[in-house]
Amino acid sequence: MDGPPGNDFCSICHGHFNIACQANCSHWFCGDCIMLVWHHGSALQPCKCPLCRRQITLLVPGEASLRERNDPNVAEVLGKIERYNHLFGGNTSSFVQRMQDLPFLLRRLLREIMDPQRSLPLVIKARVYIAVNLLRETVTTFAVHNSMVLSAIYVISPVDIIPEGIVGIVGLLDDLLVVLICFLHVAAIYRSVLYSRYGGS
């Protein structure tokens, strides 16, 4: 299940989580608490995490919060979170921000793929998403798809720009760079899925 650790507390109110949501820095907060932090600062820019001081550009509500969506108080807080994500979740972030978000996005994606209740719908949604994008943006999707396929072929192939046989372990740097680029592409695609799911629509 997707939610905060059972023995953890909100670092803002120091109480049990109420309408828990996870920030892109992987920290959990009460939905109302993090919205108060945002409104306390400038409403024109994303707030910073009270723990690590990173900019929060995406808030993902926990599963328990989403199940209680019919409660008017929960619906109000989830609406605020969706507005926040709509304002700041779709912005193209810097390379440093994308690198910092990479562990959060890959962990969430892996957890979602491994969940037996969500993995099949995720595969079906991915196929529909790819099909729609192919119809809408054939050239862009084709280029991204080909770049990922070519990256995988490059990592597997024995031909390297920096050969491992000559320079030893340093020769793995080009392979690691290509793998990092692939992970960044996958994380960017998954971030756009989270953005459309929790505030981009």
For residue 167, what are the domain limits? 93-201
**Residue located via tokens 């080009």:** 174
Task: Specify the range with the lowest mean pLDDT, choosing from 57-61, 62-66, 83-87, 141-145.
Answer: 141-145
**CA atoms within 13 A of residue 36's CA, in its CB half-sphere:** 8
Q: Please provide the size of the chain in residues.
A: 201
CA 51, distance to chain mean position in Å, is 19
Give the count of beta carbons closer than 10 Å to the beta carbon of residue 98.
15
- What total of structural domains would you count in the chain? 2
Return the higher-pLDDT residue of 146 and 62.
62
pLDDT of residue 188: 81
Both 110 and 193 in one domain: the answer is yes
pLDDT of residue 25: 92
- Average confidence score pLDDT of the chain: 78
pLDDT of residue 191: 82
- The whole-angstrom separation of Cα 47 and Cα 78 is 17
Give the pairing type, strands 59-61 and 20-23. Answer: antiparallel
Both 166 and 143 in one domain: the answer is yes
The pTM of this model reads 0.72
Query: Do residues 118 and 63 touch, judged by C-beta distance below 8 A?
Result: no
Instruction: Look at residues 36, 64, 91 and tell me which one is the last residue of a structural domain.
Output: 91
Most confident of 23-37, 127-141, 154-168, 184-198: 23-37
In the predicted model, what is the mean pLDDT of residues 122-146? 54
Q: Read off the pLDDT of residues 17-72 as tens digits, 9 standing for 90 and up.
A: 999 999 999 999 999 999 999 988 877 889 999 999 999 999 999 888 888 888 99
In the predicted model, what is the mean pLDDT of residues 177-199? 80
**Residue located via tokens 């993902």:** 60
Instruction: Look at residues 91, 124, 141 and tell me which one is the last residue of a structural domain.
Output: 91
pLDDT higher than 90, residue 130: no
Query: Do residues 199 and 89 touch, judged by C-beta distance below 8 A?
Result: yes
CATH code at position 63? 3.30.40.10
Both 25 and 110 in one domain: the answer is no
DSSP tag of 26: S
- The whole-angstrom separation of Cα 89 and Cα 36 is 18
pLDDT of residue 20: 92
pLDDT of residue 64: 84
Confidence of residue 92 (pLDDT cuts 50, 70, 90): low
- How far lies 143's CA from each of 69, 125, 129, 146, 176, in Å? 39, 21, 16, 5, 21
Burial 50-66 (b: 16+ CB within 10 A, else e): beeebbbbbbbbbeebe
pLDDT higher than 60, residue 97: yes
- The whole-angstrom separation of Cα 129 and Cα 153 is 24
Both 64 and 141 in one domain: the answer is no
pLDDT higher than 60, residue 121: no
pLDDT of residue 116: 65
